[in-house]
Amino acid sequence: MVSFTKLFTAGLMATSALAAPKRSTSKRGAAYNDISTVPAMTSSGNVAWAYNWAMSLSGSMPTGVDFVPMLWGARDFGGWVAAIETTLSSGSEYILGFNEPDMASQANMAASDAASYYQNYITPYAGQAKLISPAVSSSTNDGQGLSWMNSFLSACSSCQLTGLAVHWYGNNIDEFKTFVQQAIDTASTYSLSEVWITEFALAADVGGIVDQATTNSFVTDAMAYLDNEAAVTRYSYFMSADNYLLSNGALNSVGETYCN
């Protein structure tokens, strides 16, 4: 005979399990500037994380969606400690490094300087979060893209990195796959266990999606590839905004493909 106490305890455990919010294991993320766009992206439960190129989320994140803070660059050093400690205490489990430091128009850092800054500002939180490298562009110029990344990783061997982040803008799925494989190879060389593609899109769509049918086809192929590539643990298409994955605040056809 089962005791009332055992039945009551089992009931509580079952209720607790049902009440716990389901956390998605999807690799997909939402890259946003306006947090009010995120619920449309995450309502299906297939977008598991979000970031906004910043240290703080600037609003309320939907339940079960991980916010990942970023130290964009030197402009944010002054407010970094207070912001990251608040964000980590709220449950963030990763920290993203600088935004395209290989590009003069973005964080703009020499690889050696970036390694020093990373060790000073981000490495101290290695015990509280997993650390992802700066995100480089897909430029093939010497001293940019993965060339810059190799120099950074060589100089940052004691930075306690977990993963490598990259961006890609290009013309077709074959170019994309080639670049991602190069990023995976780079991560493997430095014994990094994760590769994140934190921005990617067709070059034609940088200012907004030009042809939804073409972009839909690319997104479908890219997601199939990324979801089956074990080394890639997170990715985010550019971006959670009107004229991109949204139209008038709701998912457009490309957004539907990406989020569902």
Q: Binning pLDDT at 50, 70 and 90, where does residue 58 land? A: confident
Strands 250-251 and 246-247: antiparallel
SS3 73: coil
Tokens of 87: 């964000």
Tens of pLDDT, residue by residue over 196-234, are 999 999 999 999 999 999 999 999 999 999 999 999 999
CATH code at 25-259: 3.20.20.80
Tens of pLDDT, residue by residue over 16-32, are 333 334 455 799 999 99
pTM of the full structure: 0.90
- How confident is the model at residue 4, as a pLDDT? 34
- How confident is the model at residue 24, as a pLDDT? 59
Q: 173-189 vs 212-227: helix axis angle to the nearest 10?
A: 30
Backbone angles phi, psi at 28, to 5 degrees: -70, 140
Half-sphere exposure of 58 (CA within 13 A, CB side): 15
* Lowest-confidence segment of 12-21, 64-73, 177-186, 249-258 by average pLDDT: 12-21
- Domain positions in the chain are 25-259
